[in-house]
């Protein structure tokens, strides 16, 4: 078996917490389809989430079960997780993208054979990887079962990281520092956007001499010029021109744990407005980070930011951050707590967030961000790259 990033004891502790949440919600069997949550309880890490797969957590079973495609089950799950072969179940390849068979048909039969046919199931209703067809076939195969929404059940368990998880995020922080430097170094007048992206992707993968990097859950986001107010644009093969303001939003990842970062860069002297907004953004970001400590709510952190920009006459519609950590494409966010008005989640030690107070306008944008963990009396920043507008 390949070496897992955590001990079996840590996985058992995670499972204990997941089961406690199941009991609280009246769930007998939890069906996990989110690959990050599957990884969290089993250690399974593969790019197999383009086909249907699930991890089954049952209250009466001390070990989870993996159910997936045959080529992924016994060559992957058995050899790379802490599960034994009796807890790995594989459907045949004729279930893949078939118009007559569906992987959920097989999974429903396995669950019935295990004696769970009339149990109360929790399913991740809003997970990217759990389709409407999957739900319908699962219900048809388990007509005597009851299904309830267990979306984000595991996500809320994993929002507080172990010390071992924090160490992986610190390594991801080292990687994102190197990747941001590679992108900034490659950025110059006349450079192609795709070449800057390539430099970033190379640095994200190579990592450091001591440890390499993973693929990232989101590709480099690189809006520029008049489109810099649209934060989720990627790149093309056009060349940068003098006077362009753009920003790079990326992450470092190690063992699937992410440390995101965003920086704004100006090719030449920026406009007075860009300089002003960047200064305000940094001031507000630092105010938000200074507000972080156990017992403070997410909305109170956002309020510290809002107070700063408000005194300059600015307002921001979107949230300024979210919990982050273990994840797979298409997102490195955990879909739980957000730094925004109304979110009364109380910060606790070893919660981890990406604070990204981007300021987006019709013809430009400024975004400078930092990832952090909540400590016993404040916060720890995972990366070291300067929080400032970069002028080249």
80-98 confidence digits (pLDDT tens): 999 999 999 999 999 999 9
* Distance from C-alpha of 252 to C-alpha of 181, rounded to nearest angstrom: 12
| Contact present, 41 and 154 (Cβ < 8 Å) | yes
| Contact present, 248 and 222 (Cβ < 8 Å) | yes
Total domain count, the chain:
2
Q: Are 49 and 64 members of one domain? A: yes
Q: Are 144 and 189 members of one domain? A: no
Q: Is residue 323 part of a domain?
A: yes
134 is written with which tokens?
């999957």
pLDDT in tens, 124-134: 999 999 999 99
Q: Are 97 and 176 members of one domain? A: no
Residue 190 Rama label (left phi>0; alpha psi -120 to 50; beta): left
377 is written with which tokens?
């009396």
Q: Are 120 and 181 members of one domain? A: no
Q: Are 213 and 361 members of one domain? A: yes
β-bridge partners, 149:
123
107 is written with which tokens?
């999974």
Q: Is residue 1 part of a domain?
A: no
Q: Is residue 3 part of a domain?
A: no
pLDDT at 1 over 50: no
- The percentage of residues in the chain with a pLDDT greater than 90, rounded to a whole number, is 92
The number of residues in the chain equals 392
Kindly list the distances between the CA atom of residue 282 and the CA atoms of 2, 176, 205, in Å, as whole numbers in the listed order.
43, 19, 29
Give the containing element (helix H, strand E) for 354. Answer: strand 352-355
pLDDT at 75 over 80: no
C-beta neighbour count of 232 within 10 angstroms: 8
Domain finish residue from 123, 157, 191: 157
Q: Is residue 350 part of a domain?
A: yes
300 is written with which tokens?
């109170």
| Contact present, 66 and 55 (Cβ < 8 Å) | yes
122: three-class secondary structure by DSSP: strand
Domain finish residue from 157, 172, 205: 157
DSSP class of residue 94 equals G
pLDDT in tens, 259-317: 999 999 999 999 999 999 999 999 999 999 999 999 999 999 999 999 999 999 999 88
CA 272 to centroid of chain Cα atoms = 35
Q: Are 204 and 94 members of one domain? A: no
Q: Are 249 and 188 members of one domain? A: yes
Q: Are 81 and 214 members of one domain? A: no
| Contact present, 289 and 370 (Cβ < 8 Å) | yes
Q: Are 238 and 153 members of one domain? A: no
Which residues in 259-271 are b (16+ Cβ under 10 Å) and which e? bbbbbbbbbeebe
Q: Is residue 123 part of a domain?
A: yes
pLDDT band at 74 (very low <50, low <70, confident <90, very high): confident
Q: Is residue 2 part of a domain?
A: no
CATH number where 57 lies: 3.40.350.10
- Beta strand spans in 53-114 (E): 54-58, 65-69, 88-91
Domain finish residue from 157, 181, 197: 157
Structural domain for 193, as ranges: 163-391
Residue 289, classified by CB atoms within 10 Å of its CB into exposed (0-12), middle (13-18) or buried (19+), is: buried
Q: Are 87 and 226 members of one domain? A: no
What's the confidence (pLDDT) of residue 228?
82
Q: Is residue 181 part of a domain?
A: yes
pLDDT at 245 over 70: yes
Q: Which residues contact 177 (CB under 8 A, 6 or more apart)?
A: 252, 261, 383, 384, 385
Q: Is residue 142 part of a domain?
A: yes
Q: Are 293 and 343 members of one domain? A: yes
**Number of helices and strands in the chain (H, E):** 11, 16
CATH number where 299 lies: 3.90.230.10
Rounded to 10 degrees, the C-alpha dihedral 128/133/134/136 comes to 130
Q: How large is the average pLDDT for residues 11-31?
A: 98
Q: Are 123 and 268 members of one domain? A: no
* Distance from C-alpha of 109 to C-alpha of 128, rounded to nearest angstrom: 24
pLDDT at 175 over 90: yes
């Amino acid at each position: 078996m390949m070496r897992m990033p955590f001990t079996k004891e840590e996985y058992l502790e995670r499972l204990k917490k997941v089961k406690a949440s199941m009991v609280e919600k009246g769930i007998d069997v939890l069906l996990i389809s989110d690959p990050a949550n599957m990884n969290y309880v089993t250690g399974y890490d593969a790019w197999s989430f383009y086909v249907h797969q699930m991890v089954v957590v049952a209250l009466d079973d001390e070990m989870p079960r993996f159910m997936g495609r045959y080529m992924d089950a016994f060559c992957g799950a058995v050899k790379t997780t802490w599960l034994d072969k009796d807890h790995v179940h594989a459907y045949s390849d004729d279930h893949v993208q078939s118009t007559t068979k569906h992987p959920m048909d097989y999974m429903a039969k396995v669950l019935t054979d295990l004696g769970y046919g009339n149990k109360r199931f929790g399913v991740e209703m809003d997970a990217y990887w759990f389709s409407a067809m999957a739900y319908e076939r699962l219900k048809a195969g388990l007509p005597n079962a009851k299904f309830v929404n267990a979306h984000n059940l595991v996500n809320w368990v994993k929002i507080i990281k172990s010390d071992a998880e924090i160490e992986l995020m610190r390594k991801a922080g080292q990687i994102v520092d190197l990747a941001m430097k590679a992108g900034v170094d490659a950025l110059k007048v006349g450079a192609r956007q795709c070449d800057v992206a390539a430099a970033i992707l190379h640095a994200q993968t190579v990592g450091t001499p001591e440890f390499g990097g993973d693929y990232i859950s989101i590709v480099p986001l690189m809006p520029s010029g008049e489109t810099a107010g649209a934060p989720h644009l990627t790149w093309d093969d056009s060349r940068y021109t003098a006077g362009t303001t753009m920003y790079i939003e990326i992450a470092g990842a190690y063992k699937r744990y992410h440390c995101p970062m965003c920086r704004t860069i100006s090719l030449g002297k920026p406009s007075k407005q860009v300089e002003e907004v960047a200064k305000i953004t940094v001031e507000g970001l630092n105010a938000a980070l200074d507000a972080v400590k156990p017992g403070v709510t997410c909305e109170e952190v956002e309020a510290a930011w809002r107070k700063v920009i408000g005194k300059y006459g600015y307002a921001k519609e979107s949230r300024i951050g979210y919990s982050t950590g273990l994840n797979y494409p298409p997102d490195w966010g955990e879909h739980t707590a957000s730094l925004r008005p109304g979110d009364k989640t109380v910060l606790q030690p070893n919660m981890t967030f990406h604070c990204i107070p981007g300021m987006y306008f019709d013809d430009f944008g400024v975004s400078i961000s930092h990832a952090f963990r909540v400590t016993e009396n404040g916060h720890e920043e995972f990366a070291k790259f300067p929080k400032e507008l970069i002028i080249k």
